[in-house]
Each structure stands twice: as C-alpha cells, then as structure tokens.
Amino acid sequence: MYRFSRSIYRELAPAIVDDRLSAGRNHQLVLGACEETVRRLAVDHRYFAKPAKTLFNDVRFYFPMSAQHRVYRVIERNLTLAQAFLASQPLRGCDLEGNPLECRATTRKGRACQRTPLPHNGYCPSHQHLAEPEDAAEIAA
C-alpha cells in the first residue's frame, strides 16, 4: 500500500515549500501524512468517507497557493487508484496488515463481536440485520 503514498509524495515533493528553518521537516510531514492516510484507507475504509479531502487539508499548508489545485488533483487521483486496488483485493480472514477480521457489531455486553465477518459488508451471519440498505441490496443480488 505504501506505493500509493510514495507516488503521491513523489509527485508533490518538488512543489513543497521549504524555508531555512524547516530544514526538510516539511517533506517528512507531507510523507507522513500521505502514509497515514493510505494506511487508514487500507485498515478503516468503511469509516473514512473523504480521504482525498482529509489528506489535502493535512498537507495544503506546505504548498504555495499557485500549486493548491494541482496538489488536490494528484491526491484525488492516487487515492482513487488506491481505493480501486483495495476493492479488487479479496479478504481472506485478515486485513491488509495481517490482523484477523472481526465483525463490525458489538455484543449485548458491549464487547466487539469476535466472529469472522462476511466479505461483502463486514458483519457476521448473526449480525446481518445490522447491514445498511445498500449492503442488503448486494446480499440479495
């Protein structure tokens, strides 16, 4: 997954504003923000509604005003590619970091459900009734 964050950084690196006080720190901050966004997209994509907007808001301070539009377009294009890549990857009981998948629901006692979820909506068979309407349409199809 880091190929997507590195791709964003490589395209944006020449436009990063570095003054003599930062001494390369701005480059590190932009790279860190790119990596964190892509990591969150891979691990928590269901609850990450607008990753391009989030990353742009994190890094826009490190670019001149004349480059802002280009920065957003680069971020949006690369994160769209990352989302398409993630959607094409089959999940086999583990997320992309190797952690076992768990159902998105909680038990009556407030603990996370430990059962393995179904791949299409993230809920185990016992909690299918909690699936959102668009998830239910996928089940019917």
| Of 17-21, 39-43, 51-55, 77-81, the least confident | 17-21
What pLDDT does 43 receive? 77
What pLDDT does 89 receive? 72
> Number of H helices and number of E strands within the chain?
5, 0
Q: Which two tokens stand for residue 25?
A: 């720190």
Which CA distances in Å does 99 have to 92, 94, 102?
A: 11, 5, 9
Task: Name the residue ranges covered by the structural domains of the chain.
Answer: 2-88, 93-141
* Cα(34)–Cα(7) distance, integer angstroms: 9
CB 112 within 8 Å of CB 106:
yes
What pLDDT does 135 receive? 46
Q: What mean pLDDT comes out for the span 69-85? A: 94
pTM above 0.75, yes or no: no
Q: What mean pLDDT comes out for the span 75-86? A: 92
**Between 95 and 31, where is the model more confident?**
31
Q: What mean pLDDT comes out for the span 58-81? A: 95
What pLDDT does 136 receive? 46
